Amino acid sequence: MAETVIISRERFQTLKAALPAVTREHLTSVYGISETTWTKLRRGEPIKLNTWQRIQARIARVGSRA
């Protein structure tokens, strides 16, 4: 079974604040995730570790361009 991770409520709020809007298009373009993954994050449910690592990589890329 794949390793999973649960992010904190505070971290979720940070992710949410960085989105222009919570739409399928923005979730995909900003974080590279689906609405299903976003729902899991919002509910505090576990997501795959590699998905979380992909989100972090996207954040790092955006941050390095700023």
Domain count of the fold of the chain: 1
We report the CATH number of the domain holding residue 18 as 1.10.260
Q: Which of 32, 28, 35, 31 is nearest to 14 (CA)?
A: 31
22-65 per-position pLDDT tens digit = 999 999 999 999 999 999 999 999 999 999 999 999 988 876 66
Tokens of 25: 């298009």
Give the separation between CA 19 and CA 31, rounded to whole angstroms.
Answer: 9
Tokens of 9: 């409520």
Q: Which residues constitute the domain of residue 22?
A: 4-65
By three-state DSSP, how is residue 4 classified? strand
Q: What global pTM score does this model have? A: 0.87
- Work out the burial of residue 44: count CB atoms within 10 Å of its CB; fewer than 13 is exposed, 13-18 middle, 19 or more buried: exposed
